Amino acid sequence: MKALLPFLVPLGIGVASGLLAALCGVGGGIIMVPAFVMLLKVSQKVATATSMAVIVPTAIAATVRHVWNDFVDWEVVALTATSATVVSFFAADYVKKLGNETLTRLFAVVILVIGVKMLAFPETNRQPAPATASAQESTAPVVKLTASSPERLKAKTVVSRYVVPLLIGTASGLLAALCGVGGGIIMVPAFVMFMSGFDQTLATGTSMAVIVPTAIAATSRHIINKLVDWRVFAMTAISATLVSFVAADYVKSLGNETLTRVFAAVIVLVGVKMLISPGTKPAAPPAKA
C-alpha cells in the first residue's frame, strides 16, 4: 500500500481540485498548491508551477461543458483573458525570486471579506426582478441567466462591458502567475458583484473559460524555468480533468444560492490558510555536497 501512495495521493488531489474547478469556476490551485507541498513534499515553487500545468486540461474540460450549457459570455472572456494572459505570462517569471508574505496576507484579507459577505448575503448575487413584474411573478423561482439571456444583455453598461473585465483580468492574471491558482477566486466574486447581468452560474462558466489561456501562458513560463514536476502533473491531471468534465454539467441543477455558499466557504477556508501560513517564500536551495 505504501508503494501506491505516490500514485494515489496525486489522484485524490486531482479529484478534489477537478470538482472545485467545475462547480465553483476556479482552477483548483487553491487545493493543489498546499496539498502538493504538505502531502507530496515538493517545494512551494514547484507546487505553484505544477498546479498551473494541471489547471490547463482541467479548465479546458470544464469549459467545454459550460459552453454546451450556454454559461460562457465570450465578450467578457475575450477582454478578461487578454489582460489576464498578458499579466500572467510576464508575472510568472517572478516566481523564481518572489517571496512576499505581506502581499499574500493582504490578498487573504480581501478574499475573507468577500467570502464572509457571500456566505451571509448570497441572495444579493441574484438578478432583481423587473420593476413591472406582478406580485405573482416576483415570487417565481429565480431563473439562471445564460450568456444569451435578453434580460442580462440589456443590463450591460459601457463600464461593465469593457473596463471592469480588463481590471478583473489584470488582478486574476497576477494571482494566477504568482500563486499557482487559475484566478477564478478573484473572477467569480468580481463578475457577480461588479458586472451587470451576471449571476453565480454565468460567472462560474465565464471564469473557467478565461482560466484556459491564462493557465497556458503562465505554464509556458514555468516550463521554460523547469519548475513543473511532470510525474505529479500526469497523475493529478488525469483525475482532475475527468472529474471537472463530468461535474461541470451539475452546475445546471444547483441553485445560485447553493453555488454561492459553496464558493464562499471555499474562499473563506483558503483566506484563513493564507493568513495563517502565507508560504510565499521561495524554497531554500538544495545543500551542496
- Three-state SS at 231: helix
- pLDDT by residue (tens digit) across 174-228? 776 666 566 777 888 888 888 877 887 888 889 889 888 888 888 998 899 899 9
**Does residue 139 lie within any of the structural domains?**
no
- 62-87 burial code (b ≥16 CB/10 A, e <16): bbebbbebbbbbeebbebbbbbbbbb
Q: pLDDT value at position 97?
A: 58
**Which domain range does residue 196 map to?**
2-130+145-276
Percent of the chain with pLDDT over 90: 12
Report yes or no on 257 lying in a domain.
yes
Cα 27 from Cα 175, distance rounded (Å) = 12
- In a domain, residue 282? The reply is no
The stretch 83-98 carries a mean pLDDT of 73
pLDDT of residue 110: 64
Q: Is residue 81 part of a domain?
A: yes
Burial class (CB in 10 A: 0-12, 13-18, 19+), 249: middle
Residue 199: inside a domain: yes
Q: Is residue 285 part of a domain?
A: no
Q: Quote the number of domains for the chain.
A: 1
Q: pLDDT per residue over 16-74, tens digit each?
A: 888 877 776 666 777 788 788 888 888 878 888 898 899 898 889 888 888 988 889 99
Kindly give the residue spans of alpha helices, DSSP state H, lying in the chain: 5-24, 29-39, 44-68, 74-91, 101-120, 135-138, 150-154, 158, 164-179, 184-194, 200-224, 230-247, 256-276
Rounded CA gap, 253 and 288, in Å? Answer: 56
Q: Residue 11: pLDDT above 70?
A: yes
The verdict on residue 31 lying in a domain is yes
